[in-house]
Structure 1
Amino acid sequence: MTLAEDVLGLLKAVAQHEIAIQDAAAQLQEAPSDDLGFAKVDLARTKRNGYPEVIYGSGKTAAQIIDIMASLERHDQNILCTRLSADKYQQIKAHFPKAVYHEDARILTQIAHPLTETATSIAVVTAGTSDIPVAEEAAVTAETYGNRVDRIYDVGVAGIHRLFEHLDEIRSAQVVIVIAGMEGALASVVGGLVDAPLIAVPTSIGYGTNFGGITALMTMLNSCASGITVVNVDNGFGAAYSASMINHLTSKEDH
């Protein structure tokens, strides 16, 4: 339910004398954010965007993350914290024993309201094994948002026969996320073989002239295959967020 639908429902309840005007006014005045001093936790994001606020763990102290998680927990929201180091998790887990740490993805999740898994899937495809940490960030994010995920790892162009062995599985996906470092050619190859939206993620994996992912990024931006959208270097989370929105469009159309 959106924020606008909430307000409309509240106004209808007042009109039908199901709630007092003073109580309705109090609900409307409830703060859409929780001011912690160092952070203002956005409590209305789910109503606006369909997904709760996500905690970016890098650059925050464990104590700050604990306080933000406590705010989200008090307001009964699902928690997803990205780029969380194992050291910080060790400090956090005593405060949140129900939280799950996904080590490869560097993601912490605590699910208050599990989402129904989509009938359609997101395929997460990597060029190499070294790209798996970025791929797992994408896969875990997508799963947290209720998507069925198919992982197809280490099928890069250096051994392109490996890709063809999984082509039917990739083609069956509603959205494809292709993750590649080095020269980033895999996105163009897959883009020419599928009829689904493709989100390309360049990674910082590669030798010197990879330039920390810039070479792969440029290759993907200049792809001759149509239908490719490119996110920032190593941004598995951003790719999964967009892929989830696309994948859930089918569910909306079904209703």
Structure 2
Amino acid sequence: MDNYLNEYRQLFQQIKSGEVNIEQALNQVRNLKFDDLGFAKVDHHRQIRNGYPEVIFSQGKTVEQIKAIVLKLAEKNNNIMATRATREVYEGICEVIEDAEYFEAARIVVVKKRNILVTEKTIAVVSAGTSDIPVAEEAAITAETLGNRVTRVYDVGVAGIHRLFANADTLMSANVLVVVAGMEGALASVVGGMVDKPVIAVPTSIGYGASFGGLSALLTMLNSCSSGISVVNIDNGFGAGYTASMINKL
């Protein structure tokens, strides 16, 4: 965020010294806020408002559109994250910028242009089954990219609950927990009953027909009797990781 505030500080000093007139300053402020690419308005001001730059949701965008957005974000020396990214998207980004890294399980591309201070406190990302790992990894990579320590506890669903209890110390030492589960989604309630920290529950679309593409898990999590559980949308690992990061940095 400091780089963005420095841009404003420098602009104010230029206005004060007479190097920049009011009209020139207004034009610069417009560019600081967003760039209009026609198909997208790249929000440069989000770093100042929210503490992290705009994240590219790749699904539904063409590779050429994503490349253009990446270039605009890179002009401001932003860290860049593209979610729901295919390998084709990753290869396209590599054509226009160096140092892109692809996390295939999470379907996330990350370009680190500047270092982020990593918090001492830990986020635990917990998955019920191995099939839930892609959504769990989306949450984990998101949280790590935003400057958090992440502990992964995978395949500890209620069908073999002794696996969860074997990791009790890890769960209880975390500052925030993201619990990812498909099928009936019961794991979030169990974890919520074990720990004294916020739990962000993520229902996944994994399951047989009567799970209705994650709706069953979603309803289970929304109706949990465990206190301290918040629920994000089906398969929204990114939203859970982002929210966990905000809580972890309070």
Normalised to the residue count of structure 1, the TM-score between the two structures is 0.90
Trace 1:1-255 onto structure 2 (pairs within 5 A). Answer: 1=1, 13=13, 19-21=16-18, 23=20, 25=22, 26-30=24-28, 31=30, 32-249=33-250
CA contact (8 A) 1:3 1:47 kept: no
Deviation at 1:7, TM superposition (A): 9.5
After superposition, the Cα gap between the structure-2 partners of 1:4 and 1:153, relative to the gap in structure 1 and judged at 3 Å, is closer
Amino acid at match of 2:147: G
**CA offsets per residue over residues 11-63 of structure 1, 9 Å max, x none?**
9857xxx9424537444542210111111100110001111000000000110
Amino acid at match of 1:203: T
CA contact (8 A) 1:204 1:234 kept: yes
Deviation at 1:174, TM superposition (A): 0.7
Counterpart secondary structure, 2:178? strand
CA contact (8 A) 1:2 1:48 kept: no
Counterpart secondary structure, 2:78? coil
CA contact (8 A) 1:175 1:196 kept: yes
Amino acid at match of 2:207: G
CA contact (8 A) 1:121 1:149 kept: yes
Amino acid at match of 2:17: A
Measured in 2, the distance between the counterparts of 1:64 and 1:5 equals 28
Structure 1: unaligned runs, 5 residues or longer:
250-255
CA contact (8 A) 2:182 2:205 kept: yes
Counterpart secondary structure, 1:41? strand
After superposition, the Cα gap between the structure-2 partners of 1:41 and 1:12, relative to the gap in structure 1 and judged at 3 Å, is closer
After superposition, the Cα gap between the structure-2 partners of 1:214 and 1:7, relative to the gap in structure 1 and judged at 3 Å, is same
**CA offsets per residue over residues 195-253 of structure 1, 9 Å max, x none?**
0011000000000011000000000000000010000000000001110000011xxxx
> Over aligned residue pairs, what C-alpha RMSD do you find?
2.2
Q: How many residues align?
A: 246
Measured in 1, the distance between the counterparts of 2:160 and 2:25 equals 59
After superposition, the Cα gap between the structure-2 partners of 1:63 and 1:248, relative to the gap in structure 1 and judged at 3 Å, is same
Measured in 2, the distance between the counterparts of 1:8 and 1:43 equals 13
Deviation at 1:74, TM superposition (A): 1.0
Amino acid at match of 2:20: D
CA contact (8 A) 1:10 1:24 kept: no
CA contact (8 A) 2:106 2:138 kept: yes
**CA offsets per residue over residues 118-159 of structure 1, 9 Å max, x none?**
100100000000000001100000000000000000000000
Structure 2: unaligned runs, 5 residues or longer:
none
Measured in 2, the distance between the counterparts of 1:156 and 1:21 equals 65
Normalised to the residue count of structure 2, the TM-score between the two structures is 0.92
After superposition, the Cα gap between the structure-2 partners of 1:7 and 1:60, relative to the gap in structure 1 and judged at 3 Å, is closer
Counterpart secondary structure, 2:90? helix
After superposition, the Cα gap between the structure-2 partners of 1:24 and 1:122, relative to the gap in structure 1 and judged at 3 Å, is farther
After superposition, the Cα gap between the structure-2 partners of 1:72 and 1:120, relative to the gap in structure 1 and judged at 3 Å, is same
Deviation at 1:183, TM superposition (A): 0.1
Deviation at 1:92, TM superposition (A): 2.9
Amino acid at match of 1:101: Y
Deviation at 1:87, TM superposition (A): 2.4
**Dislocated runs of 4+, deviation >6 Å:** 2-8
